Amino acid sequence: MELLPLGPVVMIDTPGYDDESLLGEKRIAAVEKILHKCDIAVLVTTHPVLNDIESRLISLFKKNGTSYLIAVNKSDLMASFPKNEENIIYTSFLEKTGIEELKNALGKCVKNETKGVNFVGDLIGPGNIVVLVTPIDSAAPKGRLILPQQQGTAFTNYGTALAYMQGILPRVIAPIPEIKSLV
């Protein structure tokens, strides 16, 4: 989905990190697996003082080098709360406050995370042929695969880049005898 000012995002809710049952072990393993893949984590809590489980999650974010924010929800129930705390945004779903601040803070994290993003570089090797299929649209949304960047990635990895417009991919790949990988 698109979330302004971020652009395209995938959000994954990972409940059950505090589940101590047999199923909980599987949930915890799933959460930790997802955290290895995510760019930014948002820990949602209802109190500014983190409990042991939340502190473990923050340690895991730091260990993985994952940018993170803490969204303290239900701030409308607090008499007061500190301002300008690093990585902490106070929100209230009920009063609809703090949401823009959270989105803006996420946007700042994304700007830091996307420097040098390499979507396909680890998939391209010397001599590989990269077929880039692109719409005729000069205004690609932020965070999308952009043709010149991906051509550059192919060249950097000593591959060959071919660019075609949408709709003709079957004609392009039909004569290729063996396709080893397709992204």
Rounded to two decimals, what is the model's pTM? 0.60
Domain ranges of the chain: 2-113, 121-173
DSSP string, 8-31: E--------TT--SHHHHHHHHHH
What per-residue confidence (pLDDT) applies to 118?
A: 57
Q: Kindly state the tokens that stand for 80.
A: 């007061």
Q: Strands of 67-72's sheet, edge to edge?
A: 40-45, 67-72, 88-90
Fold designation for 2-113: Rossmann fold (3.40.50)
What per-residue confidence (pLDDT) applies to 115?
A: 47
Give the residue among 85, 62, 89 at the shortest CA–CA distance from 75: 89
Cβ(159)–Cβ(125) below 8 Å:
yes
AA identity, residue 166: Q
The span from the CA of 62 to the CA of 41, in Å, is 10
Per residue of the chain (183 residues), give pLDDT as tens.
Answer: 777 777 777 788 887 778 888 888 888 888 888 887 788 899 999 988 889 989 989 999 998 888 899 999 999 998 887 777 788 999 999 999 999 999 999 888 876 554 445 566 677 778 877 777 776 655 555 555 566 666 777 777 787 777 787 788 888 888 877 766 665
Give the residue among 78, 76, 82, 56 at the shortest CA–CA distance from 68: 56
The span from the CA of 79 to the CA of 76, in Å, is 8
CB atoms within 10 A of CB 109: 20
What per-residue confidence (pLDDT) applies to 112?
A: 56
